[in-house]
Amino acid sequence: MKNYILKFKYQFLFICSLILVRQLFLMASNFLNADAITILTDNSLNKFIKIMILLTITWSIIITIDRIVKVREEVFVQDVGINIKDTLSNALINSDIENYKENSAGIYQSWLNNDIQIIQNKGIRNIFSIIYSVSGMVFSLVALITYHWLISLITIVGTLLIIYLPKLFNNKLHNMGEVVTKENERYVSSLEETIHGYDTYFSLNKLSMIPKRINRSSKELKLAFVKQSKLESNFYMVNFGLNVLFQVLLVFVTGYLVIKDNLAIGSVAAVGMFANLVFDGMSQIGYKLSFIKSVTPIFLKFDKFISRCKKNYPENAIPSQSILFKINNLCFNFDDKQIFKDFNLTIHRGSKYLVHGESGAGKSTLFKIITGQLKNYTGLVEYNGVDIKTIPVKQIFDDLTLIQQEPFIFSGTVKDNIVIDDIIDDNEVGKYLEKVGIPNHIEFLNKEVGSQGENLSGGQKQRIAIARALYNNKNILLIDEGTSALDKESAEYLESMLLNNKDLTILMISHNVSDNISKLFDYSIKITNQF
């Protein structure tokens, strides 16, 4: 957490300075309250009015500072949260695909939403609460010492006891924080899986399972939160009990000293207020520290992921060669099943390859290997003469894209899905839609696609995916049943357009290629699982 706070150190120091000034004015108000009570016993109305005026001014300043602090604190909390999100997002884009796929999309969603909210609310906000408590406690301790040595002794003993108390709960609170974090991740992941499985539940006439699964996951999450709440409540009760005990003791002792004429009567009120700031401050410090420590597992998890992503291979310029991919003696097993054994293949730049074979033979696996997404194989796979295991995956995708049977479509317009945040004239983008067989492109470009392309047909999604690849100047296309949702005529048009482009290197998986299209391929690769 410290590293993120230091990025906004000037904001942080400004807020801390305001808090300290505020607490000093609060101390002044306590002394003024004590003087007001003492003056009342002397029946001095003029002095009482003067003190009331000073109190009004003091509290006006306190309220003004509180307003400024509240706003600046919120800005700071949100800035830190955004910075953490940016750090995680950058780690994700620098991550190898195998690192990324260690977690589901739901887990990352939980990190960027729930976990960061926990950091903001339980971690960062409580830092400022502790600054309030520490400053109030220190200033009040100094004030209490000025009254009487017995008051000082009781204050110091009580403070030491309350300082020691959190140590009894720290480990339990830390462990409970880990449990809650993991349970929250499981809940989000289960929720995502349940919702995405709607079609399957529907086809099996098992829609009643959706609320059952959500309810079960919710109850498990509830149980974790309840256990955490019970532990935090126990800690708070013990803290509060000691707080009240020592405050009552101090007020009693102060009252005794007043009766013995050692202190002014206003001292009872002042000591009570200062004692409350000391002991309540100590209770709050321990309580708030437990919250801050509960977010430690989240930061450890983030740091581990970010560190793993930083181990990525350095990007070095790879000169283009006529031989794009070269595979020598490739062996790969999936579970106990052997997919490839001593497999060899050379892919030339600008050539067109038809990849076919039975389902499960390894066609899609081959695509994952040559794009660096799978590295647990033996043998040698080279990209432009360089061992693909030594190249960052994202560098391979600088010139390559994978067009799948069900391409991902972002919410927004058709244009948004093609240009991906580029600012470009509609007519220029429309040229790529015309290439993929979509007329009246201007109207279609501004069509809202809906969530995950719900307003589009399967064929339109595939056309958009191909247009996106062409617009982004991808010269290597790996097409995995990328035209399967189109009718025969449209599929042949698109396949012909791509295969006749001499600048493109194409590897296409297809189970249904017409004779006219098959003639346009330079090579046919049949993958047969013989093992």
349-374+390-526 placed in CATH 3.40.190.10: no
Chain centroid, CA 444 distance in Å: 34
The whole-number average pLDDT for the span 143-161 is 76
- pLDDT for res 345: 92
- pLDDT per residue over 66-76, tens digit each? 999 999 999 99
- pLDDT per residue over 349-408, tens digit each? 999 999 988 887 888 889 989 988 888 899 999 999 999 988 877 788 888 888 988 888
From CA 424, how far away is CA 88, in angstroms rounded?
29
Min mean pLDDT across 147-151, 203-207, 268-272, 375-379 is at: 203-207
- pLDDT for res 137: 84
From CA 15, how far away is CA 70, in angstroms rounded?
9
Instruction: Work out the number of other CB atoms within 10 angstroms of the CB of residue 529.
Output: 15
- pLDDT for res 202: 64
- pLDDT for res 97: 64
From CA 140, how far away is CA 246, in angstroms rounded?
14
- pLDDT for res 145: 77
Q: Hey, what are 397's tokens?
A: 């995708």
Q: Which fold has domain 2-310?
A: ABC transporter transmembrane region fold (1.20.1560)
Please check the confidence at residue 205 and state whether its pLDDT lies above 80: no
From CA 110, how far away is CA 116, in angstroms rounded?
9
Domain definitions of the chain by residue range: 2-310, 349-374+390-526
- pLDDT for res 213: 80
Min mean pLDDT across 35-49, 293-307, 420-434 is at: 35-49
Which position has the higher pLDDT, 152 or 385? 385
Q: Hey, what are 139's tokens?
A: 């200033």
From CA 419, how far away is CA 443, in angstroms rounded?
16
From CA 496, how far away is CA 515, in angstroms rounded?
12
Which position has the higher pLDDT, 312 or 451? 451
Which position has the higher pLDDT, 182 or 340? 340
Q: Which of 106-110, 285-289, 401-405 has the highest mean pLDDT?
A: 401-405
Residue-averaged pLDDT of the chain: 83
- pLDDT for res 98: 62
- pLDDT for res 259: 76
- pLDDT per residue over 292-330, tens digit each? 887 888 888 888 888 877 655 555 677 788 899 999 999
From CA 237, how far away is CA 239, in angstroms rounded?
5
Please check the confidence at residue 61 and state whether its pLDDT lies above 90: yes
Instruction: Work out the number of other CB atoms within 10 angstroms of the CB of residue 179.
Output: 15
DSSP H or E segment with residue 347: strand 337-348
Q: Is 26 exposed, middle or buried (0-12, 13-18, 19+ CB in 10 A)?
A: buried
State the distance between the two ends of the chain, measured CA to CA, in whole angstroms: 52
Min mean pLDDT across 138-142, 239-243, 274-278, 432-436 is at: 239-243
- pLDDT for res 94: 67
Alpha helices in 361-476 (DSSP H): 363-370, 393-396, 414-419, 426-435, 441-445, 458-471
Alpha helices in 42-148 (DSSP H): 45-94, 97-100, 105-110, 116-118, 125-145
- pLDDT for res 523: 92
The whole-number average pLDDT for the span 279-299 is 78
Nearest 10 degrees: Cα torsion 70, 72, 75, 76? -110
- pLDDT for res 499: 93
Unique residue bearing structure tokens 């100094």: 142
